[in-house]
Structure formats: C-alpha cells, structure tokens
C-alpha cells in the first residue's frame, strides 16, 4: 500500500501529525480500507480521518484511530482521549494532561496532569517531557504529588532536548 505524501493544510497547525496518523491507519488496515482512501481526495483531512477511523474494527482495536477521531472533534474529544489513554496511547495521555493542566471544561487538576504527562513521557513522548519540565520549572508541582525543583525540571527538559525539542533546549539556558 502506498502511503500518503500529499501536502496537508487545514489551518490547524498539526498537519504532520494528521498525515502520520492517516498513514498509520492505512498501514494497519491496508487493502480493507482502499475504498475509503478515495475520500482523501475530496473534503477536509479531518473528514477523511473520521471516515478511515470509523472503519470496522479501527475504533475497537487501534488507539491511534480513537486519537485521530478525538482530535478531529476539536475540544470535544476528551472522552475519546480517555479511551485511547486507557489503551496506553501516549499522545492521548498528553492531551489529557493538557486538559487537566489548563482546566478545560473542568476544574484544573495539576496532579492528574502530572500523572498523564509522566506516563506519556516514560513512554518516550517528547511533548510530555517538555510539559513535565515546565511544571517542575515553574514550581507547579511543589506539594502537589510530584517532586518539585530544578533538578527534575532539568532532567525532563534535557530528555526532551535530546529528542529534538527546541523549546526544551531554550528553557535549559535558565540553568
């Protein structure tokens, strides 16, 4: 199966992640979704994601499909992110961390945000490494379920920087 290489611009700023996700679904479900691939030629990328992810079995077996549908719903995908996170999918764990950190639609819960970021970071998810470093750097975790302080901030920011995160490298100049 040929993977997609077309440029995607839907204004969301996450075109690369969307393309990777579509290719992941195509690679997983292969020829059984060949007909749905034609949908990629028409309509938006997010509509195409919804079409592919709704394919028989995708939403039950593949946390990436659940993640993509959650992302295609914009801010209303927290319940789907919880489902994918329960399957151990790091990007959904990260999204839940952001959800808890910012308090979107609910009360802000830094301990839950910390737990989500930590689990995703331990799975190697770089954006969660960055966010953990920021929580420690700002002192947000002092007395709230995480060890606070510069040493932990430095540790996570270094891990993120070693994995190509430019923002982490800039934050490390504070030390």
Give this prediction's pTM.
0.70
Contact 95, 81 (CB under 8 A): yes
Higher confidence at residue 165 or residue 34? 165
Q: What is the CA radius of gyration of the chain?
A: 18
Determine the pLDDT at residue 137. Answer: 85
pLDDT tens sequence across 96-113? 999 899 887 677 888 999
> Two tokens at 50?
């919804």
The Cα 69–Cα 83 span in angstroms is: 11
Q: Where are the domains of the chain?
A: 1-72
Q: Is 143 left (phi over 0), alpha (psi -120 to 50) or beta?
A: left
Span 114-159, pLDDT tens digits: 999 999 999 999 999 999 999 988 877 655 545 557 888 899 999 9
Give the per-residue pLDDT at 149.
Answer: 72
Q: Do 50 and 72 form a contact (C-beta atoms < 8 A)?
A: yes
Question: What pLDDT is stored for residue 93 in this prediction?
Answer: 94
% residues pLDDT > 90 (the chain): 33
How much is the pLDDT for 9? 40
What is the per-residue pLDDT for 148? 53
Closest by CA position to 5, among listed 20, 13, 14, 25: 20
The CA-based dihedral angle spanning residues 74, 78, 82, 87, taken in that order and rounded to the nearest 10 degrees: 0
Residue 37 is predicted with a pLDDT of: 45
49-66 residue pLDDT tens: 666 666 656 666 778 777
pLDDT (0 to 100) of residue 34: 42
Q: Check pLDDT > 90 for residue 36.
A: no
Q: What is the pLDDT of residue 25?
A: 60
């Amino acid at each position: 199966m040929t993977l997609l290489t077309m440029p995607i611009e839907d204004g969301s700023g996450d075109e690369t992640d969307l393309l990777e996700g579509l290719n992941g679904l195509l690679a997983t479900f292969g020829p059984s979704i060949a007909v749905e691939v034609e949908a990629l030629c028409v309509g938006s990328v997010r509509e195409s994601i919804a079409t592919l992810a709704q394919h028989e079995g995708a939403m039950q077996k593949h946390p990436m499909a659940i993640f993509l549908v959650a992302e295609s719903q914009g801010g209303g995908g927290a319940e789907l992110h919880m489902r994918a996170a329960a399957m151990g999918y790091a990007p959904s764990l990260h999204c839940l961390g952001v959800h808890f950190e910012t308090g979107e639609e609910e009360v802000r819960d830094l301990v839950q945000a910390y737990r989500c970021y930590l689990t995703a970071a331990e799975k190697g998810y770089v954006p969660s490494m960055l966010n953990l470093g920021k929580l420690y750097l700002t002192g947000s975790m002092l007395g709230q379920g995480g060890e606070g302080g510069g040493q932990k901030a430095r540790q996570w920011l270094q891990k993120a920087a070693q994995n190509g995160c430019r923002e982490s490298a800039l934050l490390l100049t504070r030390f």
